[in-house]
Amino acid sequence: MLTVITPTTGKPALNDLIASVDGQTIAGKLFHFLLWDNVRDPAARPPADYVGERRLNLVLPAGAGRNGEAPGSALRAVGLMAAMTPWVTFADDDVRWEPGHAEALLRAADGRQWAATLRNVWSPDGEYLGVDRFESVGDDPGRTVPYEMYDNNCMMFRRELGSHAAFIYRETREYNDDRLMYQFLKKYAGTPGKTQAPTIHHTCPDRLVEFFRSNCARD
Protein backbone atom coordinates (compact mmCIF):
# COMPACT_ATOMS: atom_id res chain seq x y z
CA MET A 1 0.00 0.00 0.00
CA LEU A 2 2.71 2.50 0.98
CA THR A 3 6.35 3.16 0.02
CA VAL A 4 8.53 4.89 2.63
CA ILE A 5 11.45 6.92 1.22
CA THR A 6 14.47 7.60 3.44
CA PRO A 7 17.58 9.47 2.26
CA THR A 8 20.28 8.57 4.76
CA THR A 9 23.93 8.68 5.74
CA GLY A 10 23.47 5.78 8.15
CA LYS A 11 23.55 7.81 11.35
CA PRO A 12 22.54 5.97 14.55
CA ALA A 13 18.99 7.37 14.52
CA LEU A 14 18.34 5.36 11.35
CA ASN A 15 18.07 2.26 13.54
CA ASP A 16 15.24 3.89 15.54
CA LEU A 17 13.40 4.81 12.34
CA ILE A 18 13.73 1.30 10.92
CA ALA A 19 12.45 -0.23 14.17
CA SER A 20 9.46 2.12 14.14
CA VAL A 21 8.64 1.33 10.48
CA ASP A 22 8.94 -2.40 11.14
CA GLY A 23 6.72 -1.96 14.21
CA GLN A 24 3.78 -0.39 12.36
CA THR A 25 0.33 -1.86 12.84
CA ILE A 26 0.25 -2.39 9.06
CA ALA A 27 3.94 -3.24 8.60
CA GLY A 28 3.05 -5.95 6.10
CA LYS A 29 1.65 -3.31 3.73
CA LEU A 30 4.78 -1.12 3.72
CA PHE A 31 7.91 -1.12 1.55
CA HIS A 32 10.94 0.90 2.66
CA PHE A 33 13.55 2.46 0.35
CA LEU A 34 16.86 3.57 1.87
CA LEU A 35 18.71 5.92 -0.48
CA TRP A 36 22.45 6.58 -0.14
CA ASP A 37 25.27 8.32 -1.96
CA ASN A 38 28.92 8.19 -0.85
CA VAL A 39 28.45 10.21 2.35
CA ARG A 40 28.46 8.07 5.50
CA ASP A 41 28.04 8.83 9.16
CA PRO A 42 31.05 7.55 11.18
CA ALA A 43 28.71 5.11 12.94
CA ALA A 44 27.14 3.76 9.73
CA ARG A 45 27.21 0.10 8.85
CA PRO A 46 27.44 -0.96 5.20
CA PRO A 47 24.13 -0.38 3.40
CA ALA A 48 23.69 -4.13 2.90
CA ASP A 49 23.40 -4.52 6.69
CA TYR A 50 20.10 -2.62 6.64
CA VAL A 51 18.34 -4.81 4.08
CA GLY A 52 15.13 -6.49 5.19
CA GLU A 53 12.26 -8.45 3.71
CA ARG A 54 10.45 -5.21 2.88
CA ARG A 55 13.43 -2.87 2.79
CA LEU A 56 15.74 -2.13 -0.15
CA ASN A 57 18.90 -0.03 -0.50
CA LEU A 58 19.49 2.19 -3.51
CA VAL A 59 23.11 3.41 -3.58
CA LEU A 60 23.64 6.30 -5.97
CA PRO A 61 26.80 7.98 -7.32
CA ALA A 62 29.02 10.22 -5.22
CA GLY A 63 27.43 13.60 -4.62
CA ALA A 64 23.93 12.51 -5.61
CA GLY A 65 22.58 13.29 -2.17
CA ARG A 66 23.11 17.04 -2.32
CA ASN A 67 21.95 19.74 -4.72
CA GLY A 68 23.29 22.99 -3.34
CA GLU A 69 21.56 23.53 0.01
CA ALA A 70 19.02 20.74 -0.54
CA PRO A 71 20.47 17.69 1.27
CA GLY A 72 18.78 14.46 0.28
CA SER A 73 16.50 16.15 -2.20
CA ALA A 74 17.80 14.45 -5.33
CA LEU A 75 17.68 11.10 -3.52
CA ARG A 76 14.02 11.70 -2.75
CA ALA A 77 13.42 12.27 -6.47
CA VAL A 78 14.87 8.84 -7.27
CA GLY A 79 12.68 7.24 -4.62
CA LEU A 80 9.57 8.91 -5.99
CA MET A 81 10.26 7.53 -9.47
CA ALA A 82 11.08 4.04 -8.15
CA ALA A 83 7.98 3.66 -5.95
CA MET A 84 5.37 1.15 -7.16
CA THR A 85 2.73 1.32 -4.42
CA PRO A 86 -0.45 3.42 -4.53
CA TRP A 87 0.82 5.73 -1.76
CA VAL A 88 4.21 7.31 -0.95
CA THR A 89 5.61 9.05 2.11
CA PHE A 90 8.98 10.28 3.40
CA ALA A 91 10.71 9.32 6.63
CA ASP A 92 14.07 11.00 7.17
CA ASP A 93 16.63 9.40 9.45
CA ASP A 94 15.92 11.98 12.17
CA VAL A 95 12.32 10.73 12.53
CA ARG A 96 10.60 7.82 14.21
CA TRP A 97 6.96 6.80 13.95
CA GLU A 98 4.25 5.97 16.45
CA PRO A 99 3.01 2.40 15.80
CA GLY A 100 -0.23 3.63 14.22
CA HIS A 101 1.29 6.38 12.08
CA ALA A 102 0.99 4.76 8.65
CA GLU A 103 -2.47 3.42 9.38
CA ALA A 104 -3.64 6.85 10.59
CA LEU A 105 -2.37 8.55 7.41
CA LEU A 106 -4.06 6.02 5.15
CA ARG A 107 -7.30 6.37 7.10
CA ALA A 108 -7.10 10.17 6.83
CA ALA A 109 -6.48 9.91 3.08
CA ASP A 110 -9.58 7.83 2.41
CA GLY A 111 -11.33 9.41 -0.58
CA ARG A 112 -8.58 11.99 -1.03
CA GLN A 113 -5.27 12.24 -2.87
CA TRP A 114 -3.06 13.22 0.05
CA ALA A 115 -2.96 13.45 3.82
CA ALA A 116 -0.89 15.04 6.55
CA THR A 117 -0.10 14.51 10.20
CA LEU A 118 1.28 16.51 13.12
CA ARG A 119 4.74 16.00 14.62
CA ASN A 120 6.28 15.92 18.08
CA VAL A 121 9.58 17.80 18.06
CA TRP A 122 12.68 16.88 20.09
CA SER A 123 16.09 18.48 20.49
CA PRO A 124 19.25 16.53 19.55
CA ASP A 125 19.88 16.18 23.30
CA GLY A 126 16.54 14.42 23.82
CA GLU A 127 14.54 17.35 25.23
CA TYR A 128 10.88 17.22 24.31
CA LEU A 129 10.02 20.59 22.73
CA GLY A 130 6.32 19.98 22.09
CA VAL A 131 3.83 19.48 19.27
CA ASP A 132 4.29 21.54 16.12
CA ARG A 133 0.87 23.13 15.73
CA PHE A 134 2.28 26.42 14.43
CA GLU A 135 4.41 25.72 11.33
CA SER A 136 4.04 22.32 9.64
CA VAL A 137 0.26 22.62 9.46
CA GLY A 138 -0.40 23.75 5.88
CA ASP A 139 -2.96 26.52 5.60
CA ASP A 140 -4.47 25.87 9.02
CA PRO A 141 -5.75 29.21 10.38
CA GLY A 142 -4.00 28.47 13.67
CA ARG A 143 -0.52 28.62 12.17
CA THR A 144 1.67 31.45 13.45
CA VAL A 145 4.13 31.72 10.55
CA PRO A 146 3.55 33.85 7.43
CA TYR A 147 4.08 30.93 5.04
CA GLU A 148 2.34 27.61 4.40
CA MET A 149 4.06 24.22 4.47
CA TYR A 150 4.08 20.64 5.62
CA ASP A 151 7.39 19.08 6.52
CA ASN A 152 8.34 16.25 4.12
CA ASN A 153 7.89 13.74 6.93
CA CYS A 154 4.32 14.85 7.62
CA MET A 155 2.92 14.25 4.11
CA MET A 156 1.61 11.19 2.31
CA PHE A 157 0.34 11.32 -1.27
CA ARG A 158 -0.65 9.23 -4.27
CA ARG A 159 2.25 7.73 -6.18
CA GLU A 160 1.20 9.44 -9.42
CA LEU A 161 1.50 12.83 -7.77
CA GLY A 162 4.96 11.93 -6.52
CA SER A 163 6.05 10.92 -10.01
CA HIS A 164 4.89 14.22 -11.44
CA ALA A 165 6.57 16.17 -8.65
CA ALA A 166 9.91 14.32 -8.66
CA PHE A 167 11.50 17.10 -10.71
CA ILE A 168 10.82 19.50 -7.82
CA TYR A 169 13.11 17.46 -5.58
CA ARG A 170 15.67 16.81 -8.31
CA GLU A 171 16.14 20.42 -9.40
CA THR A 172 15.80 22.61 -6.33
CA ARG A 173 19.07 23.86 -4.89
CA GLU A 174 17.53 25.60 -1.89
CA TYR A 175 16.45 24.23 1.50
CA ASN A 176 12.81 24.33 0.43
CA ASP A 177 11.78 21.06 -1.19
CA ASP A 178 8.97 20.40 1.31
CA ARG A 179 7.50 23.87 0.76
CA LEU A 180 7.60 23.39 -3.01
CA MET A 181 5.93 19.98 -2.70
CA TYR A 182 3.26 21.44 -0.44
CA GLN A 183 2.49 24.11 -3.03
CA PHE A 184 2.30 21.46 -5.76
CA LEU A 185 -0.08 19.27 -3.76
CA LYS A 186 -2.28 22.17 -2.69
CA LYS A 187 -2.64 23.17 -6.35
CA TYR A 188 -3.18 19.76 -7.92
CA ALA A 189 -4.31 17.32 -5.21
CA GLY A 190 -7.21 19.08 -3.54
CA THR A 191 -7.83 19.24 0.19
CA PRO A 192 -5.70 16.90 2.32
CA GLY A 193 -7.00 14.54 4.93
CA LYS A 194 -5.58 15.11 8.40
CA THR A 195 -4.84 12.72 11.24
CA GLN A 196 -5.47 15.55 13.75
CA ALA A 197 -2.83 14.02 16.04
CA PRO A 198 0.98 13.92 16.33
CA THR A 199 2.02 10.51 15.01
CA ILE A 200 5.74 11.10 14.39
CA HIS A 201 8.69 12.16 16.53
CA HIS A 202 11.09 14.51 14.75
CA THR A 203 14.54 15.52 16.06
CA CYS A 204 15.29 19.06 14.90
CA PRO A 205 18.81 20.36 14.14
CA ASP A 206 20.65 22.38 16.81
CA ARG A 207 20.09 25.65 14.99
CA LEU A 208 16.29 25.28 15.28
CA VAL A 209 16.00 24.21 18.92
CA GLU A 210 15.08 27.69 20.22
CA PHE A 211 12.67 28.20 17.32
CA PHE A 212 10.71 25.08 18.25
CA ARG A 213 11.09 25.50 22.01
CA SER A 214 9.49 28.94 21.75
CA ASN A 215 6.64 27.96 19.43
CA CYS A 216 5.63 24.34 19.96
CA ALA A 217 2.56 23.46 22.03
CA ARG A 218 2.98 21.23 25.06
CA ASP A 219 -0.06 19.06 24.31
Q: Enter the pTM of the model.
A: 0.97
Query: What pLDDT sits at residue 67?
Result: 86
Number of domains in the chain: 1
Q: What is the three-class DSSP state of 38?
A: coil
Question: The CATH number of the domain where 151 resides is what?
Answer: 3.90.550.10
Mean pLDDT, range 22-38, rounded to an integer: 97
Query: What pLDDT sits at residue 219?
Result: 81
Query: What pLDDT sits at residue 60?
Result: 94
**Per-residue pLDDT tens digits for 73-132:** 999 999 999 999 999 999 999 999 999 999 999 999 999 999 999 999 999 999 999 999
Query: What pLDDT sits at residue 194?
Result: 98
Asked if residue 33 has pLDDT above 90, the reply is yes
> How many H helices and E strands in the chain?
6, 11
Question: What is the DSSP code string of 133-167?
Answer: -SSSSTT-TT--SSS----GGGEEEEHHHHHHHHH
Longest Cα–Cα distance in the chain: 45
Mean pLDDT, range 34-38, rounded to an integer: 96
Q: How far apart are CA 46 and CA 174, in angstroms?
A: 29
Asked if residue 159 has pLDDT above 90, the reply is yes
List the domain range (segments joined by +) for residue 203: 2-215
